[in-house]
Chains A and B, each alone.
Chain A
């Protein structure tokens, strides 16, 4: 158990809908990362937050948005869902988000299925 929690574990929805994925980082970690993992695209870095502020942005679509709240939990919002958005979405946390020495601790993931 990494100490990172993600809810829900599974989500099934229809095209055009909007969903929210939630992540609670390990106790004491200030940085949160979101990743998308699909069979054809591998593990794609979406976005990173550090202590409530956006720190790095990767291949995140404009239909997707995220935020980190004062209590450090984070939410990833996916809107206007398309079939291709079906994937595993992982949240990870690290102590400082420095990119130099930080180890990331991954949550169990949310499996999103768009029908």
Chain B
């Protein structure tokens, strides 16, 4: 079973609104990464947050990490139609090299 579970599974918002998606995982991790996938294409790395960080920003992206709750959130501010994609969190359990991707959140931004 997937270690990462994203919530919600699907999200539809208007252009200009903020989009928040959450990821939960099960084991101790070294870092957590977020990726974006446009329909049927390869994943693109967005941001990495280390286990000792609580918050990280990159452009319109804000990621938080709560290791006590084993959860992370990705906030996209001022969304654009081009942000329409699926978003996945990915973790590597401490002491392993195995990447585990979450189930993904399908974001649709309406123009």
Task: Please list the residues of chain A having a beta carbon within 8 angstroms of any beta carbon in chain B.
Answer: 2, 4, 33, 35, 42-45, 48, 55-58, 88, 90, 92, 97-101, 103-109, 111
Contact = CB atoms under 8 A, between A and B. Distances in A.
A10 B20 CA distance: 34
A101 B40 contact: no
Nearest to B88: A43
Interface of B: 2, 30-31, 33, 35, 40-45, 48, 50, 88, 90, 92, 96-104
Given A42-B101, A42-B104, A43-B88, A99 B40 contact: no
Nearest to A88: B40
Nearest to A6: B42
A103 B33 contact: yes
A45 B96 CA distance: 13
Contacts of A99: 30, 92, 96-99
A104 B45 contact: yes
In this complex, which of A4, A42, A57, A109 has the most chain B Cβ atoms within 10 angstroms of its Cβ?
A42
Given A100-B31, A105-B45, A56 B88 contact: no
The A interface, classified by DSSP as helix, strand, loop or mixed, is strand
Nearest to B101: A43
Given A99-B30, A100-B30, A45 B100 contact: yes
Contacts of A100: 30-31, 92
B100 A106 contact: no
17 contacts: A42-B104, A43-B43, A45-B99, A45-B100, A45-B101, A48-B99, A56-B97, A56-B98, A90-B42, A98-B97, A99-B96, A100-B31, A100-B92, A103-B33, A104-B33, A104-B43, A104-B45
Nearest to A45: B99
Contacts of A111: 40
Contacts of A88: 40
A58 B98 contact: yes
Contacts of B35: 104, 106
A69 to B, nearest CB: 20
A55 B97 contact: yes
